[in-house]
């Protein structure tokens, strides 16, 4: 029960997220390299999230059955294989296949790290520890953005960034296997008790809100660079820096959100839900700032502010979710919550791309503001529940 253990788990999360989110930073390069439309760029994000979503319940069951350590080691190895596939894909259909592999491998992340961080979290600091771990997502995503955009500026091209990420994943998998012991599972690979989870107070509205949060966060991450390059005339390298800054502010938002949730009175689930509602309302306002920004510098600032809230919610979301369920169901419960997030991410990027193709980027950002408002509204009841 030490912060060192939280650091080990967070390091794994940084590496896995660097691999997974690198494709979100490569959208402009994918469009240029393969000559596809904005809508098909959205399809590439959907392929990644489809693989992610398809394997969530399987990996959640594996975590509950066999413990998080073997799942985490295997997950990084599989991510490395998928990244090699992306770096070598000669056609857009094969790129989609490689992206699906990356998504399947990343499905190991949330069920396993959520369980791992509960194992190592210091007493009384559950919310903050969960958010420190979740900072690994934004840090990894920011590093992925810098890696891909930096590689694109070299004579080797953007694909080499994915090869470097594959090598890093293998190295971290070896180090993690040697330094983390974890907690054993039940020894039985059993299907999750979905009906039982759905019957828990607060779980269903939280999962429903997850769909709309996921729609906003995945689509925002996927279209930051394209919006900056095509809507306000920024260079791709500047877009990569802005995406990285969004991840930095998202990290700040997670740490602040976790600290506030620990500070608020009442149960862990209720305090986390209160923070989530506040984050959703602030994100709606920040989306309006993105729509209003008309220059690269103004857009960069608007996206950085947006990152505080729309990328600041996941740690609080998972802290809320894990507070609602018994410890031996964390893997399955996480799979359900993450599936909802991913379904939002699956459905929305192509719609956003279609709106950008036929109307404007502003129409897409307005759609995401509406999704975020719905997410916050769904959690008002849980935030007011004195028994949660």
* Mean pLDDT of the residues in the chain: 86
Task: Please give the pLDDT value at position 185.
Answer: 67
pLDDT in tens, 334-343: 778 888 898 8
| Site of tokens 């993690």 | 176
283: CB partners within 8 A, 6+ apart: 216, 306, 309, 310, 313, 369, 372
- Let me know if residue 132 belongs to a domain: yes
- Let me know if residue 162 belongs to a domain: yes
Region 233-237 average pLDDT: 77
Q: Enter the pTM of the model.
A: 0.74
pLDDT in tens, 69-116: 999 999 999 999 999 999 999 999 999 999 999 999 999 988 889 888
The DSSP string of 78-95 is: HHHHHHHHHHH--SHHHH
Region 128-152 average pLDDT: 83
CATH of the domain at 202: 1.20.1250.20
Task: Please give the pLDDT value at position 24.
Answer: 81
What domain range includes position 335?
3-179+191-384
- Let me know if residue 203 belongs to a domain: yes
Is residue 146 very low, low, confident or very high in pLDDT (cuts 50, 70, 90)? confident
Q: Residue 299 half-sphere exposure, CB side, CA atoms within 13 Å?
A: 26
Number of domains in the chain: 1
Q: Is the pLDDT reported for residue 388 higher than 60? A: no
pLDDT in tens, 246-272: 888 988 888 888 788 878 776 778 888
CA atoms of 71 and 107, how far apart (whole Å): 10
- Let me know if residue 353 belongs to a domain: yes
- Let me know if residue 184 belongs to a domain: no
pLDDT in tens, 341-375: 988 988 898 899 889 888 989 999 999 999 999 99
Q: What percent of the chain has pLDDT over 90?
A: 33
Is residue 191 very low, low, confident or very high in pLDDT (cuts 50, 70, 90)? low
| Helix segments in the chain, DSSP class H | 3-25, 27-34, 38-54, 56-66, 68-88, 92-106, 109-120, 126-152, 159-179, 194-198, 203-230, 236-263, 268-292, 296-310, 314-324, 330-358, 361-378, 380-384
Q: Which of 209, 264, 254 has the alpha carbon at shortest distance from 376?
A: 209
Structure tokens at 370: 């509406």
CA atoms of 259 and 282, how far apart (whole Å): 17
Q: Which of 209, 212, 194, 181 has the alpha carbon at shortest distance from 331?
A: 194
Structure tokens at 23: 């494709």
Q: Is the pLDDT reported for residue 196 higher than 70? A: no
Task: Please give the pLDDT value at position 47.
Answer: 85
């Amino acid at each position: 029960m030490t912060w060192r253990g939280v650091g080990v788990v967070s390091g794994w999360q940084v590496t896995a997220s660097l691999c997974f989110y690198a494709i979100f930073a490569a959208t402009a390069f994918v469009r240029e390299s393969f000559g596809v439309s904005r809508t098909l760029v959205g399809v590439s994000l959907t392929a990644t999230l489809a693989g992610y979503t398809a394997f969530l319940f399987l990996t959640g069951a594996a975590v509950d059955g066999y413990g998080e350590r073997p799942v985490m080691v295997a997950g990084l190895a599989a991510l490395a294989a998928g990244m090699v596939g992306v770096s070598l894909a000669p056609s857009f259909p094969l790129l989609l296949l490689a992206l699906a592999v990356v998504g399947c491998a990343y499905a190991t992340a949330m069920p396993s790290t959520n369980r791992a961080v509960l194992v190592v979290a210091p007493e009384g600091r559950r919310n903050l520890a969960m958010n420190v771990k979740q900072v690994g997502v934004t840090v990894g995503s920011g590093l992925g953005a810098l890696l891909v955009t930096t590689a694109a500026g070299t004579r080797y091209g953007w694909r080499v960034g994915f090869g470097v990420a594959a090598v890093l994943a293998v190295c971290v998998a070896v180090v993690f296997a040697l330094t983390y012991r974890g907690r054993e599972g039940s020894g039985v690979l059993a299907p999750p008790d979905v009906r039982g989870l759905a019957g828990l107070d607060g779980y269903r509205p939280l999962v429903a809100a997850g769909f709309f949060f996921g729609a906003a966060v995945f689509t925002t991450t996927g279209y930051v660079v394209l919006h900056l390059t095509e809507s306000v005339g920024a260079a791709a390298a500047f877009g990569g820096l802005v995406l990285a800054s969004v991840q930095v502010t998202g990290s700040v938002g997670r740490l602040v959100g976790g600290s506030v949730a620990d500070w608020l009175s009442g149960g862990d689930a209720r305090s986390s839900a209160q923070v989530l509602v506040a984050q959703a309302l602030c994100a709606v306002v920040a989306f309006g700032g993105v729509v209003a920004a008309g220059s690269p510098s103004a857009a960069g600032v608007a996206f950085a502010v947006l990152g505080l809230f729309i990328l600041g919610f996941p740690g609080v979301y998972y802290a809320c979710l894990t507070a609602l369920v018994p410890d031996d169901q964390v893997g399955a419960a996480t799979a359900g919550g993450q599936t909802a997030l991913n379904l939002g991410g699956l459905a929305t990027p192509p719609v956003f791309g279609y709106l950008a193709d036929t109307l404007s980027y502003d129409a897409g950002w307005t759609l995401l503001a509406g999704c975020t408002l719905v997410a916050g509204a769904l959690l008002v009841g849980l935030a007011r529940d004195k028994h949660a």
